[in-house]
Structure 1
Amino acid sequence: MSVAGLMLEAMASAEAKANEGKKKPFTLDADYYFIERQKPTIEYLKREIGDCEAAHGKDGHINILPGRFAKHLDAVIKQIKTKGRRHRAIFLLDQYGYTDVRLANMRKIFRELPSAEVILTFAVDWLADFVNESEKFDSALRNLELSHKRNLLVQIRQNHAADWRPTIQHLLHQHFYEMSGADCYTPFFINSTDSHRAYWLLHFSKHSTARNAMVDLHWSMQNHFQHFGKAGFEMLLGYDPHRTNDTPMLPFDFGHDAASLTHESLLIELPERLSRFGETVSFRHFFQLVVNETPATKQMIALAARQLTTDHEIEVLTTDRKLRRNGVIIHDDDLLKLPATKSLFLPRAFDE
């Protein structure tokens, strides 16, 4: 099934789920814009949509626009602004190689539509494909605002020929985040069955809730995504992309073992992170500050904090600063703090 078909099916599934147990039917009023510049692909897209059961009855809401994404972006944004107040939208930029998409377009999306989300599927092997074709290579780097890293990228590709996904993730994740115009992002890989193709799926938004929902999706699918970094906080620190690494970094796959490792890492690291905030910090504010630096969901962090209260390593207070009992469920407005007597942070041994 094409991406268009998958999107239509996903929205139909979401509508069905929203109607579960409801007497008054809920209708998802969504418009779809499929932008494609290759004529054979447009014809394929039309056939796929025509055969898609979820597309039936939505003729007035499905738009196929021939041409480049940048050509139609302003008109699509204008149409989105005519509906509702929040102007919610999801932009799925699904391309094989990034020779045309510009980060400037992403900044425009978030500037004009703060409630939007952008999902990029990035075939990082375009770098290998274009490295000997300087015109395409340089054009891609200009669009991604990476021209200043040209020589470094070529060198890294040569040094990490076997698998350069860890290097790409660590080298470029901060660049995409800083230049996207988004406040929140996820930088995880799709676990491809083809070891010679690396697909990077990056999600951008301006809200921690949207980011948390995306990470929740990674965990719910398990093993379909990979992360080449740490399990706790500061997940992408401590990796040197300039060094040729003879021992490949093992991927974190969002499976059961990864969940256990994440929980143990949070138990070790959470008290130290809280020590950076002074006296108290609300759980909501804490999560918003660390949201981009961990593969953990909000619920995972809350569960770790809850266990740490039973271990007397952190304390939870109400908004009027009354101490809550140990083991309580953590709420957004709760205040987290270290016990007054805790002044040293000793490594927490992993349970045998």
Structure 2
Amino acid sequence: MVRKSYDWKNGAALDGHSRVKLKILDEYFCEYLRVRCVLPQQEKFRLAVVDGFSGAGLYGDGSFGSPLVLLDALRRTEEELNLLRAAEGFRPIIIECYFAFNEVDPEAIELLRENSAPIIAEIKARHPNIKLHTKFHVGEFEERRQEICQNIESSRVRSALFNLDQYGYTQVSETTLLDLMKITRSTEVFLTFAIESFLTYLSPERISGILDGSTVPFAGNLSNVDENQSKPMWLGSIEKVVFETLKGAASYVSPFSIHNPDGWRYWLIHFANSFRARQVYNDVLHKNMSSQAHFGRSGLRMLHYDPNENSDLYLFDQDSRGAARKQLMDDIPRVVERFENRLPMAEFYEISYKETPVHSDDINFAIIKNPDLEVVTPNGGLRRSPSTIKDTDVLKLRDQKSFFSLV
């Protein structure tokens, strides 16, 4: 695929799919910081943020590009967190963040220095609880990543977030993904690519090997994007290929396409090794309903197609959530049954979030409302409300089953 070039100097245009990506990135990073800084006794959080294909930071209409989105999200969320902590009588939390911005275009990186200077200056002047470090790199990401990763390791941070909004697909290899996920104790990656480039990168033999023997409901030519891109069953087949190809990079991989009524050409994949990260990401997608798309089951085993089941388009909207709740009523007891009828909630989440697009509230709702399930607290009590379920609880099948045991 020919590499896309942005005319940053004269005002690059912001495409619709890029606007979606930036909104999700902004909301996820804000929620990421809220989750990682939630403990009242916590006094400091240190992390690294890498934007591997940063561009110049500003589009022609004045919209923020990813570097400024991330800096602004840090600024807003730190202020929010410390206002809440002050109101509750807690000491402020210090967020120390190491930003690395990389771009192959030297002119774009110089524009980024100019465009980011005001917000960086504002953070340093008015946000004393943010310890900000920024570095700008010029070159192909694959060529500069070793230096960037060495800087992260020398900073001794335990958390890192990579935003890799690449051109096409080939600028980030699978080997690179595996290496990045090992950089810190808690690493997450956002990877963007165009599906045409992904299919060109994979050999026909590899695609065939993934789909052979499966029940993916599509038998057409996967590489013919122009003809098939708006067909839900094509989306399901591509999703299967994407997931099987990339699932080895992390414990939790979200193989969802950016939803576009004109077709699914662009993909935003989230990689993490913590179920909590996948949980937060799913919830952000539901907040931005219809921003991404999945075709298949809506319960816990989203990629396990069954020709006897009705597959459908999951758009993270209210209709999709309603279908998911119905499917979860059957899926969750079956998971618990495999573990001798009892399973710690943390372990249940670790298992379940590997292959589900559903909202965390819908999972907890289906647990509490299911007549075959009960949630037991560490003290032996029973949970009555979905919002009160804790990771330390135990999920159990009831001794007297109403429906599950009959099917």
What TM-score results when the alignment is normalised by the length of structure 2? 0.69
Structure 1: tracts of 5 or more residues without a match: 129-136, 241-246
**Residue of structure 1 equivalent to 2:81:** 18
User: Is 1:62 matched up with 2:119?
Assistant: no
User: Is 1:71 matched up with 2:137?
Assistant: no
User: Is 1:288 matched up with 2:350?
Assistant: yes
Match of 2:399, as an amino acid?
Answer: A
User: Is 1:112 matched up with 2:180?
Assistant: no
Match of 1:276, as an amino acid?
Answer: R
**Residue of structure 2 equivalent to 1:334:** 393
State, as a whole percentage, how many aligned pairs show the same letter: 25
Q: Secondary structure at the match of 1:185?
A: strand
What is the CA deviation profile of residues 5-39 of structure 1, one whole-angstrom value per residue up to 9, with x for unaligned ones?
22222222221221223335544321211111133
Compare 93-102 and 298-307 and name the one that shifted more: 298-307
Give 1:78 shift. 2.1
Contact 2:85 2:92 in 1 (8 A): yes
User: Is 1:203 matched up with 2:275?
Assistant: no
Match of 2:374, as an amino acid?
Answer: E
C-alpha RMSD over aligned residues:
3.2
What is the CA deviation profile of residues 285-328 of structure 1, one whole-angstrom value per residue up to 9, with x for unaligned ones?
111111111112434322211111xx3x12333447x4637667
Alignment partners' CA distance in 2, 1:97 and 1:159: 14
Contact 2:192 2:269 in 1 (8 A): yes
Q: Secondary structure at the match of 1:105?
A: helix
What is the CA deviation profile of residues 192-242 of structure 1, one whole-angstrom value per residue up to 9, with x for unaligned ones?
36x2562211111111111111112111222222222221111111179xx
Matching of residues 1-352 of structure 1 within 5 Å = 1-23=64-86, 24-50=91-117, 53=119, 56=122, 61-84=133-156, 86-126=157-197, 137=200, 140-141=201-202, 148-149=205-206, 155-158=221-224, 161-163=227-229, 164-178=234-248, 180=249, 182-192=250-260, 195-196=262-263, 198-238=265-305, 250-308=312-370, 311=371, 313-319=372-378, 322=380, 324=382, 329-342=388-401, 345=404
Instruction: Looking at secondary structure, tell me which structure has more strand per residue.
Output: 2
Q: Name the CA shift for 1:60/1:111 in 2 (closer, same or farther; >3 Å).
A: closer
Give 1:259 shift. 1.9
Structure 2: tracts of 5 or more residues without a match: 1-63, 125-130, 212-219
Count how many residue pairs are aligned between Structure 1 and Structure 2.
Answer: 318
Q: Secondary structure at the match of 1:112?
A: coil
Alignment partners' CA distance in 1, 2:225 and 2:292: 24
Alignment partners' CA distance in 2, 1:287 and 1:278: 17
Q: Name the CA shift for 1:67/1:340 in 2 (closer, same or farther; >3 Å).
A: same
